[in-house]
Structure 1
Amino acid sequence: MTTFKNLNLKPALVQGLQELKYTTPTPIQADAIPLLLQGHDVVGQAETGSGKTAAYGLPLLNKVDPEQQQVQALVIVPTRELAVQVRQELKLFAKLITPNLKISAFYGGHAFSQERASLAHPPQVLVGTPGRLTDHLNRRTLELTNTALIVLDEADKLLEMGFQEELDQILGALPRKKQTVLFSATMPDEVKELIANSLKNPTFVKASANAIPDKVRLVGVKVDHNERQPVVTSLLKSIPYAGTVVFCNTRAEADKLAAHLQAQGLAAKPLHGGMEQPDRDKTMTLFRNKTTAILVATDLAARGLDIAALTTIVHYELPDDAAAYLHRSGRTGRAGKSGMVYTLASSRDEQQLRDWEQVRMDEWLSAKNIKETDAKPPVKSAPAFATIHISGGRKDKISPRDIVGALIAEAGLKADQIGKIEVQDRQSFVAVPEEQVTAIVTKLSSCKIKGRKYKVNLVA
């Protein structure tokens, strides 16, 4: 059996993977990593949940030189959320290589001036969206002449979103001698043309055709179209709903359903492309912190939802095709964990699901029998944690350890009472016990963290 130990990765990378409890590579990782380490161009067809970020990320980190302060590897992704997600995952894998390794994410909605300033000491690894990367190229703030490896992640979505011109410009700014990697869930003609124009004699690897892991259970809920709102409310109240994403097809429907669920006492928030980037970032933070239990999301906004907090998927509306359904459903059941997928289906939707041969359904329920069939105790509406915002971050030399120290010394918390901490460039978020949040905000507002006072407030 293949293990990460015998894939010829640097010992520090293997050690980091062991600490993360990663021992056995997924099929796409076992196939792609040796090829990439040998320098081949690679095309991978892989759905969400197949482990593709590690499949290209580990060889990428294995190759970069921490002592060379230049952009050596570039990862292009379609959305802001995915840029943040990929950066976080690469940083997790790289933490034991060297403290000098810099991994940055450039994307719209993020201060351009901060990105430009950071390029005074360029990252070795840069993850970015096409629009922001071409913005830097046009302003001559980004130099890619020493980039030896380029990754096009979710190529089908990059082209679907109309980034062909931006990709052409970015690829034209790269040296002719480079290694190119392309991953895509599907292979439409546009992606095949991109492969033909951008890769040299690539080797093709493919994940298992079954995009939904075996440990994920899929349940269909038969419902009249006009009864979806009360049915999804009853469904959520009958299951442990913390870590649930409910998928809608439009921004308007996501807003409408989130408002309805909030009115029913459920900790839900919308997530879609019509929201300002800071609001999207805040919503994602609250979900990772488990302050928000339910996200009501559109497909585009959910592209970066590869997080441990996600346990349950609900298809409130059926997407247009089987690929989108599999992509949504594959957001749960990661890394061998179990997961649940519920699909609200009218009689027409039910027929559509049966027509999608690659989609399985383990069980069908009638909406009127939900409570009797699913007798798991509901999670209380109010989450155990509340999230506080601190107006300082990495650029202010604040680390998670500093925040933990302040919470213990000033607010009297114990280490096991402190939830997830996220330290960003100029702000930080931390989950704390909800019943103590007012006192905690007051105490942290009056004390110093790393020798300075910062504004502290509750994130609503």
Structure 2
Amino acid sequence: MESEDDEAYSQLVTKANKKRKKSGGFQAMGLDHQIFKGIMTKGYRIPTPIQRKAIPLILSGKDVVAMSRTGSGKTAAFLIPMFQSLKCRNPAVCIRALIVSPTRELAMQTFKFVKELGKFVGLKAITIVGGDSMEHQFAAIHENPDVLIATPGRLLHVVIEMNLSLKSVAYVVFDEADRLFELGFEEQLREILNRLPGDRQTLLFSATLPRSLVDFAQAGLSEPTLVRLDVDSKLSDKLTLAHIFCRQDQKLAVLLGLLEKCDIIQENTLTLIFCATKHFVEYLYEVLQRLKFKCTYLYSSMDAEARRLNVNKFRRGEAKILVVTDLASRGVDIPFLHTVINYHFPAKPKLFVHRVGRVARAGSTGQAISIISSEEYAYLLDLYLFLGRSLQFSTKATETKSILRFSLHFFVIDNFLNSMKQYGRSKPLCSSESSRRAKSETRLKNLALHPINTFTEVIRSKFYDSASSWHKKKKKAPADSSEVADEYFVPFAPSDLHSEQGYMPFVNLSVDRNSFAATAESAVVDFLDDDAKDIRARDNRMKWDRKRKRYVGSSGEEKTKKIKTESGVWISASYKSDKYKAWRQKLKMGALERSDAVSGGQDKRLKLFRSRKLATAGFLPLSAAVCFAGKGKAKKSSSAGRVRNELKSEQQIFKAHIRKQHQREIERRRAKRSKKPRLSA
């Protein structure tokens, strides 16, 4: 009954905190005073769009999958409801909220944000990340923290070492979930998910939504709600699209001409160039560096610190050009971006929308320029079918500039040529309709002539075209009755069929259109690998098994020893190394006790370690340690889970004083008896 009363009371407080008039700010969300005070102290006044959409859903107790870019305020979007849910510090329960981050840097950044935003709430938060001492992490968990911020690899290692129960966790956040899967943590995430209670609230924040992440969300979340901010329109009305048609070997010259012409790309503006592979990114970076362009680069396998430095260099304007791949650009938010150049045209329409959606934001103008070869023209037709627009051609000749010759190292050129071969084999095919239209396209012949072509080349091409058209038979055109046909014709497919097919690759009639499965399909964007090694590993997943006499799946990884967990999942055997057991024996510690008599099915754990041992070992201060009686055994008390209050009342002090006086009187009488002389017989 107490838990129901507390829940009803918190609902009444939340309702009272809400303003009657909707102000659009944090005041209308019904937050507690301590949380609202921390938000105001941090300097927040108006919630961002992702906060305005996600926070009310999270406060209502729903599982949420939110798509948001880096810098959009997503950290506060899941921390503010967490503070509202946990309310205050509870030293009797261990780990009530779990936040999983892909990298150590992001985990430390989230920890700092928890301390700043929740400074008036009083929750205890710790970090469990790789590179730190595991003994210090064992001691930190023994303090029964409220919030645990961890990377998945070290978290699973600590959980298996300590045999730690996560049944008390009620609030789980997977931050940068697409990055978690990209770094190969899917096995660890599924094992962590199996150890969590079923009545938890799970949140998933991601910049994009790959297919593996949708499957994970459907398996680990309960009726989740998808929060998106880009569903209103595919492309901004203030975005200018331009496509330049050239041969494959002319692309570099076209790009350098674009970067040098100030009337196309404005001065002091930021430009983003998308390439297919990381080797081509390195090659293009070398070219631009030789030609004295201020540029930097990003790709997926880059070190996290180098990635952060390059992004900050581009944001500050020290580099005007950023050369990236699709994988590396996920989650990178550039606020004042003006131009996007597609050096390699994307193979999927949604990938194009994801690229050019970075410009023309918040009412500003922008442009997207694509350099297209004849092999990529069919993908351009696929894009315009998806957008529902008509492709317009220009026949005006433009001026050109001569490009200076320069020399590069041969190994750079060889690397990017080999990677482009792998990319060409692995990229998905265009639709058959667009391929047929690209082959029969005649408007490409009306484009302006290249100024470098000689007079004989132009005349020869015109002669060949006229000779080939002379052999073709003319067919009678049907009578022009389009008005009558349009009036009575009922199409067999809707006008936006290609747009719907671009957003939804397959349609399951048994799935409700309003469900998460249906809405997530429209948001799925699968990125191609940008490294030739990853491309080969993806293509070579089948190998011949001599015992089974057939091809079997192979991940390309070396065989490692594995152990089977309680949930039946096989994980690396290196997670179980008995470090926790050795640490307890060293400090003569008892194990964490579990209490099953906690309301709501949560586990309570007592602080069971010696104050002197931990203080002298340097793990805990003397004030934070809790003494216990016996060697490795906790002192049992009737109120299990309560911490002993060391402050005494007036009655306790008075009784202790009377007891001491009585003891002194007894000792004085004994001393008098011993001093009396004994009579001899």
TM over 0.5: yes
Indicate if the aligned counterparts of 2:111 and 2:126 stay in contact, CA closer than 8 A.
Answer: no
Structure 1 residues 164 and 278, CA gap change in structure 2 (3 angstroms): closer
Equivalent pair of 1:218/1:340 in contact (CA under 8 Å): yes
Does residue 1:357 correspond to 2:366, yes or no? no
Corresponding residue to 1:3 among 13, 20, 24? 24
Find 2:364's aligned residue among 322, 338, 341: 338
Choose the corresponding residue for 2:252, options 205, 220, 229. Answer: 229
- SS in structure 2 opposite 1:181? strand
CA distance in 2, matches of 1:368, 1:104: 64
1:38 counterpart (60, 67, 71): 60
Determine if the alignment matches structure 1 residue 280 to structure 2 residue 302. Answer: no
Indicate if the aligned counterparts of 2:356 and 2:368 stay in contact, CA closer than 8 A: no
Q: Is the Cα contact below 8 Å between 2:240 and 2:368 reproduced in 1? A: yes
d(CA) in 2 for partners of 1:119 and 1:313? 48
Deviation of the 1:209 alpha carbon: 1.8
SS at match of 1:273: coil
Q: Which residue matches 2:219?
A: 197
Q: Distance in 2 between matches of 1:14 and 1:364?
A: 53
Q: In structure 2, how many angstroms separate the alpha carbons of the residues matched to 1:43 and 1:220? A: 34
d(CA) in 2 for partners of 1:264 and 1:307?
A: 25
Give, in angstroms, the shift of residue 168 of structure 1: 0.9
Instruction: After superposing the two structures, state which structure 1 stretch, 53-62 or 224-233, moved more.
Output: 53-62
Which residue does 2:283 correspond to in 1?
256
Within the candidate set 220, 228, 231, 1:209 is matched to 231
* Aligned mates of 1:42, 1:170 — CA distance in 2: 18
**Could you tell me which amino acid in structure 2 is paired with residue 39 of structure 1?**
G
- The equivalent of 1:298 in structure 2 is 325
- CA 1:189/1:219 → structure 2, altered by over 3 Å: closer, same or farther? closer
Query: Which of 318, 325, 345 is the equivalent residue of 1:318?
Result: 345
- Give the Cα–Cα distance (whole angstroms) in 2 for the partners of residues 325 and 352 of structure 1: 11
Deviations 1:192-216 (A, max 9, x none): 5433432234345444424667476
Return the offset for 1:181. 1.6
Cα distance 1:204–1:352, how it changes in 2: closer, same or farther (>3 A)? closer
Match of 1:167 among 183, 189, 212: 189
Q: Which has the higher contact order (CA 8 A, sep 6+)?
A: 1
- Report whether the alignment pairs 1:12 with 2:37: yes
Identity rate, percent: 29
Q: Is the 8 A contact 1:312 1:332 kept in 2?
A: yes
Deviations 1:223-249 (A, max 9, x none): 423333233333334223554332212
How many Å separate the matches in 2 of 1:288 and 1:208?
Answer: 23
Go from structure 1 to structure 2 and tell me whether the alpha carbon gap of 1:3 and 1:213 turns closer, same or farther (over 3 Å shift).
farther
How many Å separate the matches in 2 of 1:119 and 1:171? 21
Q: Is 1:178 paired with 2:203? A: no
CA contact (8 A) 1:211 1:327 kept: no
- Structure 1 residues 22-421: aligned runs within 5 Å: 23=46, 25-26=48-49, 29-44=51-66, 54-64=76-86, 67=89, 72-76=96-100, 80=103, 84=105, 88=109, 95-98=116-119, 112-113=131-132, 121=140, 130-131=152-153, 133-138=155-160, 146-153=168-175, 155=177, 158-159=180-181, 162-183=184-205, 190-210=212-232, 214=236, 217-224=239-246, 225-237=248-260, 238=262, 239-240=266-267, 242-308=269-335, 310-332=337-359, 336=362, 338=364, 340-346=366-372, 348=377, 349-357=379-387, 369=398
Measure the CA separation in 2 of the matches of 1:103 and 1:235: 51
* AA at the equivalent of 2:321: I
Give the direction of change, closer, same or farther, for the CA distance of 1:177–1:272 in structure 2 (3 Å limit). Answer: same
Is this contact kept in 1: 2:178–2:208, CA < 8 A?
A: yes
CA apart distance, 1:344: 1.6
Distance in 2 of aligned mates of 1:156 and 1:234: 36
Distance 1:339 1:195, change over 3 A: same
| Residues 71, 125 of structure 1: 8 Å contact kept | yes
In the TM superposition, 1:423-438 aligns within 5 A as none
| Distance of aligned partners of 1:265 and 1:209 in 2 relative to their CA distance in 1, 3 Å threshold | same
Letter in 1 for 2:119: T
Distance in 2 between residues matched to 1:89 and 1:366, nearest whole Å = 54
Q: Aligned-pair distance for 1:59?
A: 2.2
Tell me the CA shift for residue 251 of structure 1. 0.7
Preserved contact between residue 270 and residue 339 of structure 2 (Cα < 8 Å): yes
C-alpha distance in 1, partners of 2:300/2:180?
15
Q: Quote how far apart the aligned CAs of 1:268 are.
A: 1.3
**What letter is aligned with 2:249?**
N
Aligned to 1:74, what secondary structure does the other structure show? strand
Which amino acid counterpart does residue 198 of structure 1 have in structure 2? G
Judge conservation of contact 1:217–1:362 (CA < 8 Å) in 2.
no
CA distance in 1 between partners of 2:47 and 2:97 (Å): 25
* Contact 1:87-1:104 within 8 A present in 2 as well: no
Aligned letter for 1:338? S
1:130-181 Cα shifts (integer Å, max 9, x gaps): 4454455455599855543212356566556654322111213434442112
The residue type paired with residue 231 of structure 1 is V
Alpha-carbon distance in structure 1 between the residues aligned to 2:88 and 2:396: 56
Amino acid at match of 1:325: F
Q: Distance in 2 between matches of 1:139 and 1:54?
A: 32
- Change in Cα spacing, 1:193 to 1:298, as seen in structure 2 (3 Å) is closer
Q: Is the 8 A contact 1:245 1:297 kept in 2?
A: yes
Cα distance change of structure 1 residues 64 and 287 upon mapping to structure 2, 3 Å threshold:
farther
- Counterpart CA distance in 2 for 1:64 and 1:339 is 44
Q: TM-score, normalised by structure 2?
A: 0.44
**Aligned partner letter, 1:3:** G
Aligned equivalents of 2:295, 2:157: Cα separation in 1:
35
**d(CA) in 2 for partners of 1:121, 1:312:** 48
SS of corresponding position for 1:284: helix
Give the CA RMSD over aligned residues: 4.6
TM-superposed CA distance for 1:272, in Å, is: 1.4
How far does the alpha carbon of each residue in 1:330-369 deviate from its partner, in whole angstroms, 9 at most, with x for none? Answer: 44456x36363423231514323313338x8999889975
> 1:118 Cα shift?
6.9
Q: Which moved more, 1:6-15 or 1:360-369?
A: 360-369
- Indicate if the aligned counterparts of 1:72 and 1:125 stay in contact, CA closer than 8 A: yes
| SS at structure 1 position matched to 2:192 | helix
Q: Which has the higher strand share?
A: 1
> Equivalent residue of 1:112, what SS?
coil
Distance 1:115 1:246 in 2: 43
**How many residues get paired?**
361
**Partner AA of 1:235 in structure 2:** L
**CA positional deviation for 1:43:** 3.6
Offset of residue 257 of structure 1? 0.8
What one-letter code is carried by the residue in structure 2 that aligns with 1:7?
M
Q: Which amino acid aligns with 1:12?
A: K
Q: TM-score, normalised by structure 1?
A: 0.61
